[in-house]
Amino acid sequence: MKPEKKNKKQEIINKYNQTSDFYDRRYIKIQQDKFSLILKDNSIYEKLILDAGCGTGLLFGVIDNSFEKSNITDFHYVGVDISINMLKRFHSKLDQKAKNVNLILTDLENLPLRENKFTLLFSFTSLQNLPDVIEGLKESFRVVKDGADVNFSILRKKLNKERLKVLLKPLIKYMEIIDIESIEDVLFTGKALKE
């Protein structure tokens, strides 16, 4: 790994390890605004869900509440994150539902997951942290099935929207871009195109 790439990853790890204790208090409302935009049009039932950059589990909390309201217990969720402290915070929130949840310490450019497995992918506010966005996108699409629901968000201030649109166009069918000024991220959603 190139030194500058390794340095950027280490900076991200340090940042999120240091902010894990107050992350939820600071970001819950901001993240939930993004989640509500994406989840209103996504069926999360009977899906194998990958949350790429899961952090402290804020998205899982919303998904889990939805499952509880519907009495659904047959689901599987995999959360991956580069920060051990974020994953520890997430793990501390789990209860008996933990049998349906796997948390993995890894980075989005090197997912230790099989190809063509996941049917629903979320990656909120993570891609802009990667030293190589293209590698992160390749890895994300490698592990999802053709036609899987895919959902990404990128901080508006770190986004080159046209570049990302060009990168995603061959990977996503029915791509929709949600760009609302009151939301700090731009969201990209659609179906994975693997062929």
Structure confidence by residue, pLDDT tens digits, 104-127: 999 999 999 999 999 999 999 998
Please report, for residues 97, 123, 145, 165, the alpha-carbon distance to residue 63 in angstroms, rounded to integers and kept in the order given.
Answer: 12, 14, 21, 27
Q: Is 26 helix (H, G, I), strand (E, B) or coil?
A: helix
Mean pLDDT of 81-109: 90
pLDDT band at 85 (very low <50, low <70, confident <90, very high): very high
**CA–CA dist 18, 83 (Å, integer):** 9
53 pLDDT more than 80: yes
CATH fold, domain 3-192, is Rossmann fold (3.40.50)
Asked if residue 165 has pLDDT above 90, the reply is no
For residues 194 and 150, the answer to whether their CB atoms sit within 8 Å is no
Show me where the domains of the chain are located: 3-192
